Amino acid sequence: MVVDLVTFDSEDAGTDDEIYIGLWGTAGGREFPLSSKNHNDFERGADDLYVLGVDPGFGFRRSERAAPGEANDPALVPIDLDSIQYVYVRKQAYGQQQDDNAWRLQRVIVLLYDAATFPLPRSRLFFLDAEKGMWFGNEHGHQAWLSESRISRRGVHSFLNRLDAKAFT
């Protein structure tokens, strides 16, 4: 799985809270935390790419404990890609409204693939574009659902261009 997460560029848009990507479908589902070691994730204006599980050569930042065989490797509890119906992004909730560190999302793209979906054009892509920013927090809500995307959507081309072009041939 590759995740492209863009935090909106405005005052107080960043957060130190945990952000998760969730998959759900007819064969079950689970969540994956996106924070990474030695990196200040989810900061104002940041465009962060994460790899969870097998990296087919992209060389992007790896989400913590998401290397093959580690606790957050998607292959440990395989989910049939065809069974996935929903993908969502969620911010961890903490305390009362005044204790919460809200976060403002601009865009998230999730590319799901496995050994059976190479080359990548056979993979699945989910997308949420909040052009004006979408707040997550105790007073805003903590979760948003992505829609399965067509490659022609705004932002998807630049995401795909950042991936190794050889993977799409």
122 SS3 class: helix
Tell me the pTM. Answer: 0.84
Could you read off the pLDDT of 40-73 as tens digits, one per residue?
889 999 998 888 887 766 666 677 777 677 777 8
Angstrom distance (rounded) from CA 168 to CA 123? 10
Q: Is 43 exposed, middle or buried (0-12, 13-18, 19+ CB in 10 A)?
A: middle
How confident is the model at residue 99, as a pLDDT? 66
**Closest CA relative to residue 22, chosen from 70, 91, 68:** 91
Q: Give the pair of three-digit tokens for residue 80.
A: 């049939």
17, amino acid identity: D
- Asked if CATH classification 2.60.60.20 holds for the domain at 2-57+64-148, the reply, yes or no, is yes
The DSSP call for residue 56 is -
Q: Where are the domains positioned within the chain? A: 2-57+64-148
Mean pLDDT, consecutive 10-residue segments, the chain of 169 residues? 93 92 92 83 91 74 72 78 94 76 94 71 86 93 90 64 53
